[in-house]
Amino acid sequence: MIHYRYILITPAHNEEEHMEQLAESILAQTILPIRWIIVDDVSTDMTGRIAKSYSEQYDFITYHRIERGGLATYYNRRTNVWLEGFCQIKDENYDFVGALDADITVPPDYYENILARFEDTPQLGIATGVYVEKVGGDLAPLIPRHHESTPGGLQLFRKQCYADIGGYRPLNYGGDDTLAEIMARMKGWKTRSFPQYQAIHHRPIGQRRAGALRAKFRQGLTDHQLGTHALFMAAKWIRRIFLERPFFLSSTARLIGYVWGHVTLRKSEVPRDAARFYRQEQLRRLFSFVGCRKK
């Protein structure tokens, strides 16, 4: 039996539809977290009441409510809310710390399996499973991702890795999870997602906010801010044309966001060395793929 101590932090804003099923999926874990902090970002629905009721029943669950403050965008607000939760654990003795979005549920052995992968690989700094999206009551097909790419709503960090990268950095256009991966690999850590461990994402991207195409456009802005190489972005556009719905439009909206970022955004929030490292990784992956295809 694995004895690693892990902590989860969940930012939550108006998540009454999903809060209870998330809590039940954590309570069912074969290895429970030593603490689970639910950070309520000024919810106006029943989110706080549901979360607080669980914290009153279980000692390892903490409910923490904050005021939203003057944060500029949804993306940096969510990251700062998570960081507020992280401030609550500064005196804790733990081995791993993770983000868990409030609209996700995980199978009972999920964290046991992820912790086992950390035990297998001492240089593994960030590990996750993957999630499939629930659309209209059905599970959408899983979109393949590179094995080094870890979905932000499930990221689990080895404590030393998180310290080495300086933690999450709030970014106006999102991508703090990808930046964390980049910084981790720059520091010599491995990052890995394991497709055999699947969580369910109950809200498809863009469903609650401005719509799927606008969300994809903003992802393109994020790609630009992270320093994505133009050749890699073009390859990503081609690859995803028939993978993401609505077909062609989704991938194209992301490409347009990337181009718009080049036209309108003058200064990136991402450190230059991280953006350079990211582009080099992308070119290696791209040329490796082309080389394999030629054989």
At 204, is the pLDDT very low, low, confident or very high (cuts 50, 70, 90)?
low
Helices and strands (H and E) in the chain: how many: 10, 9
CA angle 239, 242, 243 (to 5 degrees): 75
Among 29-43, 48-62, 71-85, the minimum mean pLDDT is found in: 71-85
- pLDDT value, residue 142: 67
Question: Across residues 66-83, what is the average pLDDT?
Answer: 77
DSSP 60-120: TEEEEEE--TT--SHHHHHHHHHHHHHHTTTT---SEEEE--TTEE--TTHHHHHHHHHHH
- pLDDT value, residue 1: 59
Reading the block at residue 236, the tokens are 């990503």
Rounded CA separation 186/180 (Å): 10
- pLDDT value, residue 268: 80
At 71, is the pLDDT very low, low, confident or very high (cuts 50, 70, 90)?
low
Question: Across residues 224-246, what is the average pLDDT?
Answer: 89
* Higher pLDDT pick, 112 / 295: 112
Rounded CA separation 100/97 (Å): 10
Question: Across residues 18-32, what is the average pLDDT?
Answer: 97
- pLDDT value, residue 67: 79
Helix (H, G, I), strand (E, B) or coil at 230: helix
Confidence check: pLDDT of 209 > 90: no
- pLDDT value, residue 293: 47
Confidence check: pLDDT of 295 > 50: no
User: Average pLDDT of the chain?
Assistant: 90
* Higher pLDDT pick, 293 / 100: 100
Taking the CA atoms of 184, 104, 36 and 63 in sequence, report the sign of the dihedral they define.
positive
Among 3-17, 200-214, 221-235, 249-263, the minimum mean pLDDT is found in: 200-214
**Domains along the chain with CATH numbers:** 6-201 (3.90.550.10), 212-290 (no CATH)
- Cα torsion 103, 109, 121, 175 to 10°: value is 0
Phi and psi angles of residue 126, each rounded to the nearest 5 degrees, phi first: -135, 130
pLDDT per position as a tens digit, 86-140: 999 988 999 999 999 999 999 999 999 999 999 999 999 999 999 888 766 677 7
pTM: 0.90
pLDDT per position as a tens digit, 147-192: 999 999 999 999 999 999 999 999 988 899 999 999 999 999 999 9
